[in-house]
A and B are shown apart, each in its own frame.
Chain A
Amino acid sequence: MEISNTLFSRALIDAAARAIPLEQVVADQIRAVQINAYYGRTHAVRGVSLGFAANRITAVIGPSGCGKSTLLRCLNRMHELVPGARVEGRVLLDGEDIYAPDVDPVAVRRRVGMVFQRANPFPTMSIYDNVAAGLRLNGVHDRRVLDDVVERSLRQAALWDEVKDVLGRSGASLSGGQQQRWCIARALAVQPEVLLMDEPASALDPASTLKIEELARTLRDNLTIVLVTHNMQQAARVSDSTAFMLSGELVEFRPTTELFTRPKDQRTEDYITGRFG
């Protein structure tokens, strides 16, 4: 297949430049295989197959209602939490099907983290406790371990310096952008392999948006990131490859620069030139 070939060669060049061992490039960290997702009778995702390369940022773009969020939520088994929702197909996480009958969705979600469109911290918990919440759920109660992970997660989320003196307080006075980074820290604390971000900056001002994008780029070293966005500039700025969806189908999936400069599909071209959507 031509698409995966170009992806592959680009990844190889990249890997050479960054001295990443080859196996890591070849393996998709997480791969959707023939995913169909439904809300009752609404067929929201239609036969999508898509691999997300390890240590890369993959953007998913498309007009509102095309199924981006739904696809994303199939990757950590959040979709099935909606009453009446249903998924068909397979999702391979490190080669293992997360929809296999003996798989515990809770365990999946500990390995595939998620950041939402609007910051959703737990309002009754302090800044510290929010970040520690995931670890505590995993049975970690050793104060030193918690301290350590909370600090590391907040540093990774580029928030440590701003909150290190007020960890015990509520985060109510943090700005929208800070709250979003706070939620990213909470997701990072359980050390997921994959981080799903559903329009993480769409409720933020441009400066905060840039900060989140910068953050996503640094996180790529340790994580596989899937970024749903409405904002094509954002996809172009931060992602390594981009998937374009339309009406629940995957239209085109290629390295970002190629998708934006030489789209193969007419519909992709129409979308990125702003002719619809």
Chain B
Amino acid sequence: MRSVLSPSALLPPRSGLTRGHQAWRDGAFRATLTACGVSVILLVAAVLVQLIAAAMPAIRQFGPSFLWTVRWDPVHSVFGALTYAYGTLASSLVALILAVPVSLGVAIYLAEIAPAGVSTVLSFVVELLASIPSVILGLWGIFVMAPWLRNAVEPALSRTLGWLPLFSGPPYGIGLLAGGMILAIMLVPIVSSVSREVLKTVPVTQREAAYAIGATRWEVIHRAVLPYGRTGIIGAVILGLGRTLGETMAVTMVIGNRPQISPSLFQPAYTIAAALANEFSEATTDIYVSALIELAMVLFVITLIVNAIARWLVWRLAPRGVVSA
């Protein structure tokens, strides 16, 4: 309906087209925000520059072979990152393998199957799990999980799958499997709660499309809901992975803290984050400190690469351009 009164008649009178007294406020606002943005960049740059400078002695002395040297020997000042990088990646991989199926199951149950009341309560409990301080999780790992692994899980695994190098050797309890499991416990709440949100945002029209061609409830989830949400789920996993790669306290308490590369999951290992936390206080020589800082940079780069892969995956798999509302 067109009214006689134009809407602008109800607004305060305009002050022409020239920049008025409000322009400077706009400018000041913009300048403040720009300053905030720039300061973040400067901060990151400063940290990086400092780290590189501090790591320089080690970088110069060991060169690129730092990355594939196994030996870490403070007494003779020989340092190589490989065992630590291996421990970091292997423990996170074990965590992923354990946590992703469970998290998906939890997310599907919460988003698709559980009655509303149950879902609310359970979601709360899952999020509570995320808020347990990692040192407490680590203590639980030492006193409950590790003995259980040593006495029950690992003997059973070596009896049935012992012919695999993965499950060979004596059961220690403390080791790579324990580290991976603790990390998995930290992953499940993050991955499942983010995945649940992702599944909830899958449009009803997608579910209906599947139902309408005769899908069962399971087929709807499997063929329509999960594929639609897969990029979000990958995002959730990567978010969690960012945490496990850098996780320190809980891991160092159960992984055994021995820098070695063993095919067996029962054997102890060491992660970069744990080594940094444990060894800084003992680093007496300059080259030792410098090597630790270079180790920190390796962790940083690993995290960056994981994030880059994640972004690429999300970009590759995103459902694109199809009309859906």
Chain B residue with Cβ nearest A104 = B216
Given the interface pairs A124-B230, A124-B317, A190-B214, the reply to whether A118 lies near B323 with Cβ below 8 Å is yes
* A189-B214 Cα distance, complex, nearest whole Å: 11
What is the distance, in angstroms, from B27's C-beta to the closest C-beta of chain A?
42
Inter-chain pairs besides A78-B211, A120-B203, A120-B208, 15 sampled, C-beta below 8 Å: A107-B214, A113-B212, A116-B205, A116-B208, A119-B324, A120-B205, A121-B209, A122-B206, A122-B224, A124-B317, A137-B213, A138-B214, A183-B209, A187-B212, A189-B213
Please, how many residues of chain B have a CB less than 8 angstroms from a CB on the other chain? 28
Contact across chains for B319 and A109 when beta carbons are under 8 A apart: no
B212–A109 contact, CB under 8 A? yes
Min C-beta distance of B112 to chain A, whole Å? 12
A187 touches B213 (CB 8 A): yes
Identify the closest chain B residue to A110 (Cβ). B214
Which residues of the partner chain B approach A190 to less than 8 Å between Cβ atoms? 213-214
- The tally of CB-CB contacts under 8 A between chains A and B is 91
Contacts A78-B208, A116-B205, A116-B209: A123 and B214 contacting too (C-beta < 8 A)?
no
Inter-chain contact B320/A172, CB cutoff 8 Å: yes
In the complex, the answer to whether B212 meets A76 with C-beta atoms within 8 Å is yes
**Is B228 an interface position by the 8 A CB rule?**
yes
A114 vs B207: C-alpha distance in the bound complex, in angstroms?
A: 13
Residues of B within 8 A of A255 (CB): none
A76 CB contacts on chain B under 8 angstroms: 212
The reply to whether A119 and B228 form a contact with Cβ atoms under 8 Å apart is no
Using a CB-CB cutoff of 8 Å, which residues 221-269 of chain B contact chain A? Answer: 223-224, 227-228, 230
Chain A residues, CB < 8 A from B219? 137
Sample (23) of A-B pairs whose CB atoms are under 8 Å apart: A78-B208, A81-B211, A106-B214, A107-B214, A109-B211, A110-B213, A113-B212, A113-B213, A119-B323, A120-B205, A120-B324, A122-B223, A123-B228, A123-B320, A123-B322, A124-B317, A133-B210, A134-B214, A137-B215, A176-B323, A183-B209, A189-B213, A190-B213
**A170 at interface (Cβ–Cβ under 8 A)?**
yes
CB distance from B98 to the nearest CB of A (A): 26
Chain A positions 171 through 190: 1 when the CB is less than 8 Å from some CB of chain B, otherwise 0: 11100100100010011011
Given that A116-B208, A137-B219, A137-B223 are contacting pairs, would A121 and B322 also be in contact in the complex, using a CB cutoff of 8 Å? yes
Give B209 Cβ to nearest chain A Cβ, in Å. 4
Query: Any chain A CB within 8 A of the CB of B325?
Result: yes
Contact of A33 with B by CB under 8 A: no
- Known A106-B215, A125-B227, A190-B214: A173·B321 in contact at CB below 8 Å: yes
Cβ of B129 to closest chain A Cβ, rounded Å: 27
Q: Which of B33-72 contact A (CB under 8 A)?
A: none
CB of A72, distance to nearest CB on chain B (Å): 11
- The docked-state distance in angstroms from the alpha carbon of A106 to that of B213 is 9
Measured CA separation A125–B320 after assembly (Å): 11
Contact A172 B208 (CB under 8 A): no
Contact B206 A120 (CB under 8 A): yes
Provide the bound-state CA to CA distance between A187 and B210, in Å: 10
Chain A residues closer than 8 Å to B211, beta-carbon distance: 78, 81, 109
Contact in complex: A124, B214 (CB < 8 Å) = no
Q: Nearest chain B CB to A84's CB is how many angstroms away?
A: 10
**Min distance, Cβ A105 to any Cβ of chain B, angstroms:** 9
Q: Which B residues are CB-close (under 8 A) to A121?
A: 209, 322, 324
* A147-188 interface with B by 8 A CB criterion: 170-173, 176, 179, 183, 186-187
- Find chain B residues with CB under 8 A from A125 CB: 227
Q: Closest approach, in angstroms, between the C-beta of A126 and any C-beta of chain B?
A: 11
**B320 touches which of A78, A170, A179 (Cβ 8 Å):** A170
C-alpha gap A123/B229 in the complex (Å): 11
- Are A118 and B214 interface neighbours, CB within 8 A? no
- What is the chain A residue whose CB lies nearest that of B227? A124
The minimal Cβ–Cβ distance linking A134 to chain B, given in whole angstroms, is: 4
Across the A-B interface, the 10 shortest Cβ-Cβ residue pairs: A123-B319, A172-B321, A110-B214, A134-B213, A123-B322, A114-B212, A120-B205, A124-B227, A120-B209, A109-B214
Most A CB within 10 A of own CB, among B203, B207, B214, B228: B214
Q: How far does the alpha carbon of A78 sit from the alpha carbon of B207 in the complex, in Å?
A: 11
Does the CB pair B212–A78 fall under 8 Å? yes
User: Which residues in A have their C-beta under 8 angstroms from that of B321?
Assistant: 123, 170, 172-173
> Are A179 and B223 CB-contacts (below 8 A) given A116-B208, A120-B209?
no
* Nearest CB in chain A: distance from B186 CB, A: 30
Q: A106 — which chain B residues lie within 8 A by C-beta?
A: 214-216
Q: How far is the CB of A257 from chain B (nearest CB, A)?
A: 31
Query: Which A residues, 54 to 95, have Cβ-Cβ distances below 8 Å to chain B?
Result: 76, 78, 81, 83
